[in-house]
Amino acid sequence: MKQYVSRRKFLSGAAAAFAAPYFVPSSALGKDGAVAPSDRITVGCIGIRGRGMHDLSWMIGNKDVQIVAICDLLKEQRLSVKAFVDARYGNTDCMMYRDLREFLPSRPDIDAVLIATGDRWHAQAAVRAMRAGKDVYTEKPSSMTIAEGQAVVETARRYGRVYQTGTQRLSEANHVFCIEMARTGRLGKVHTTYAHIAPWDNAKIPCNWRPAEPEPPKEDVDWDIWLGPCPWRPYNKSYVHGGWRGDYDFHTSCIGEWGAHTFAQAQAGLGLGDTAPVKYEYVDNASGDGMVCHFANGQKLVLSRGDKYWHGSCGERFDGERGWVAAADGYSLPDVSSPELMQEFKTVVGEYVARTGRSLDHMRNFLDCVKSREEPVANPTVMHRSMSTVHAANICMWLCRNLEYDPAAEAFINDDEANRLRSRAQREPWVI
């Protein structure tokens, strides 16, 4: 028979228990600069290496974050990240996983994941993580195709997840100034924006197989998971050490490499972060340098390789009736067509922060939104629409002809061949 305790007896016992002396560590109460466990964001990491270690260091520096797990198909990376996290916290608590299909459902305690895999895995891992109830911060380029971007948007909406892509310049003061100068009309009517594309690799990228080498043990390198949704090919160790870049199956070309950043910056300044250009003009070169993309309202986005409009990397420039502004990495302050435009720098950036309530720290903006459930600056729509521009520009280069695109239907107009390239076949069981 079941035995029941009366409410009176329960309360009497509870009162006695609370009357007894006990000790609660100050860290559990959020004292002495610590963050109470109820306010901490528990985070798991997927595919951390290179740029991912920068992101991990950035994230772990926030006192309200607790890194609890690493999932990586490379044994050396699992061990390396675990050692880094354990050393930071002074314990051995960071758990290791090889397969995210095991990792994600087995850790309901994890609030968010940091994804810094190769390009081919960004959308795949993000979708699977959001389906498992996790919020997501992922490196860019955040989709390999228009269809993958659509899947990210729909998954975030359906599961109510916070998603931020790592286009961190959207949260940096110099770029915010340029974007807001254009968006608020301080440059007059903006007719053209220029966006930087990477100076290495090409838009017309090959699909070549490297020579087959013996596969290592799965515990060391799980080659099947490394390939993920991509077509099968023989193992070659150069792939897992960055040799996938410049390969059609794994990379989004020189256009996607930096355009994932700069197209989002350009479209934000035009106030067109929720759409994409409607016309793409083919240029007869290998990179796409000089391609003109036309929006429905007549404004133009020009792809630019090199330092014609800025110095540094990942730059954007806005040309308006009253002058131009530009910024890129390494700037102390933006470039402007006249000194008068810089007089409003602090005002413009301050107004942006006041209007949006966003931190000028991209990672902090994500963490704040995990708590508030608001949309971060590089939310799924911003990611998907700017990446749709990347993918459409790539398809234009691959087909060597001008294209027309309907952003509402997310389809090319009267071009079946281009429409087939909006998606790629995904290898079982990596279908999302």
- CB-based contacts of 396, cutoff 8 Å, min separation 6: 280, 281, 282, 288, 291, 402, 403
- Give how far Cα 287 sits from Cα of 191, 203, 272, 306, Å: 24, 5, 24, 11
**107, 79: one domain:** yes
Last residue of a domain, one of 118, 147, 167: 167
Tell me the residue range of the domain where 68 lies: 37-167
Strand ranges across the sheet with 411-412: 335-336, 323-327, 316-320, 190-196, 300-304, 292-294, 279-280, 403-406, 411-412
**97, 156: one domain:** yes
Domain assignment present for 16? no
Domain assignment present for 19? no
Query: For residue 5, what pLDDT band results from cuts at 50, 70 and 90?
Result: very low
pLDDT at 85: 98
**179, 293: one domain:** yes
Give the domain CATH number at 143: 3.40.50.720
**335, 271: one domain:** yes
**184, 153: one domain:** no
The number of domains in the chain is 2
Domain assignment present for 1? no
**138, 45: one domain:** yes
**128, 95: one domain:** yes
Q: Are the C-beta atoms of 82 and 96 separated by less than 8 Å?
A: yes
Kindly state the average pLDDT of the residues 233-248. 96
**138, 198: one domain:** no
Query: For residue 1, what pLDDT band results from cuts at 50, 70 and 90?
Result: very low
pLDDT tens-digit map of 248-262: 999 999 999 999 999
In 160-233, which residue ranges form alpha helices assigned H by DSSP? 173-183, 223-227
Q: Are the C-beta atoms of 190 and 299 separated by less than 8 Å?
A: yes
Domain assignment present for 414? yes
Give the domain CATH number at 339: 3.30.360
pLDDT tens-digit map of 103-149: 999 999 999 999 999 999 999 999 999 999 999 999 999 999 999 99
Domain assignment present for 425? no
Domain assignment present for 81? yes
Cα 87 to Cα 81: distance, rounded to the nearest angstrom: 10
pLDDT tens-digit map of 281-302: 999 999 999 999 999 999 999 9
- Give how far Cα 271 sits from Cα of 1, 155, 178, 287, 345, Å: 68, 25, 12, 27, 19
Last residue of a domain, one of 167, 192, 223: 167
**131, 185: one domain:** no
Domain assignment present for 78? yes
Domain assignment present for 179? yes
Cα 55 to Cα 125: distance, rounded to the nearest angstrom: 16
**187, 134: one domain:** no
**298, 186: one domain:** yes
**278, 409: one domain:** yes
- Give how far Cα 81 sits from Cα of 104, 107, 159, 418, 424, Å: 18, 18, 29, 41, 32
pTM for this model (two decimals):
0.91
Q: How many residues does the chain have?
A: 432
pLDDT at 3: 37
Kindly state the average pLDDT of the residues 341-345. 96
Query: For residue 37, what pLDDT band results from cuts at 50, 70 and 90?
Result: confident
